Amino acid sequence: MSRKKGIMPEGLKEAVRNRILTSISLLTEEIEKLEKDYEKAESQAVKNIIMAWIISKKKRLEALRKSLWSLDHKFEG
């Protein structure tokens, strides 16, 4: 049995989608910068902190990608 799609007001789905895509883009840039900083870091303590930030941001990125998928597959509008 298939689920009925939710309905969003006209234009809202596209606005939300654009905001998610912008967030994904910005977060990807942040991760790339942190990865470069990680390689340049000299102390292990600094590397550990940067790696924690990278992991945190990658989890957020995955959540945004799931939200985008959900928006595209579960809502009409």
pLDDT tens sequence across 26-68:
999 999 999 999 999 999 999 999 999 999 999 999 999 999 9
Find the distance separating the first CA and the last CA of the chain, reported in whole Å: 22
CA–CA distance, 44 with 1 (Å, rounded to integer): 53
pLDDT at residue number 2: 54
User: Average of pLDDT values for 3-28?
Assistant: 89
Count of structural domains, the chain = 1
pLDDT at residue number 38: 98
Residue 40 covered by a domain: yes
Residue 4 covered by a domain: no
Angle at CA of residue 11, ends 9 and 17, nearest 5°: 105
Which amino acid, one-letter code, is at 9? P
The distance from CA 48 to its chain's CA centroid, rounded to whole angstroms, is 22
Q: Specify the higher pLDDT residue, 29 or 2.
A: 29
pLDDT at residue number 36: 98
User: Average of pLDDT values for 14-32?
Assistant: 97
Residue 5 covered by a domain: no
Residue 60 covered by a domain: yes
Residue 34 covered by a domain: yes
Residue 37 covered by a domain: yes
Which range of residues forms the domain containing residue 50? 11-71
Residue 3 covered by a domain: no
Residue 32 covered by a domain: yes
